[in-house]
Amino acid sequence: MAESVGDDVSRSAPRTVRGAGGLVTLEGAVAVVVALVLIVRGLLGHDQSKASGYGTAAWFGILGGAVLAAGIGLLFGKRWGRAIAVIAQLLLLPVTWSLLTDSHQPVYGTLLGIVVIATLVLLFAPASTRWMADDYAIEPEKS
């Protein structure tokens, strides 16, 4: 039985997409863990006069949850996850630069940079691009 052109399962996702999905899932999971840590710190009474731990936790939880969902979607071969993953990587590039320069955190900046660049390479690899283009393929007319 043939799948329709618009189905996410019309062709299984290549390893490059699944690899990117794993990295994006990791990024999302780290953000969700950071949100949980900030909530626990707030509940334990840590100083929140300079920055709201709860507000920052909400930000990390919402955005991290979306990135986590995108990563899981890519692992399961869902095309919608790629757009969120690409945007997340593009937004993390300046964070990487900031960690390397302004924040003087070269270890974290280097690690994040490696993950971001690797994810972008996987998301734009030829196999990934062909897989995404399959969604827009035109089926020949049946006589």
Tell me the per-residue pLDDT of 103-113, one tens digit each, with 9 for 90 and over. 889 999 999 99
Cβ(26)–Cβ(112) below 8 Å: no
pLDDT digits (tens, 9 = 90+) for 1-42: 444 444 444 468 999 999 999 999 999 999 999 999 999 988
CA distance 62 to 53: 14
CA dihedral 113, 118, 123, 124 (to 10 degrees): 100
CA distance 116 to 27: 9
Cβ(67)–Cβ(74) below 8 Å: no
CA distance 46 to 58: 17
Question: What does the block give as tokens for 8?
Answer: 């996410």
Confidence band, pLDDT 50/70/90 cuts, at residue 135: confident
Cβ(51)–Cβ(36) below 8 Å: no
Task: Please tell me the predicted confidence (pLDDT) of residue 3.
Answer: 44
Question: What does the block give as tokens for 100?
Answer: 């390397």
Q: How much is the pTM?
A: 0.84
pLDDT digits (tens, 9 = 90+) for 35-69: 999 999 889 888 777 778 889 999 999 999 999 99
134 or 67, greater pLDDT = 67
CA distance 71 to 84: 9
Question: What does the block give as tokens for 128?
Answer: 């990934």
**Which of 43-47, 100-104, 118-122 reaches the highest mean pLDDT?**
118-122
CA distance 33 to 67: 13
CA distance 48 to 52: 5
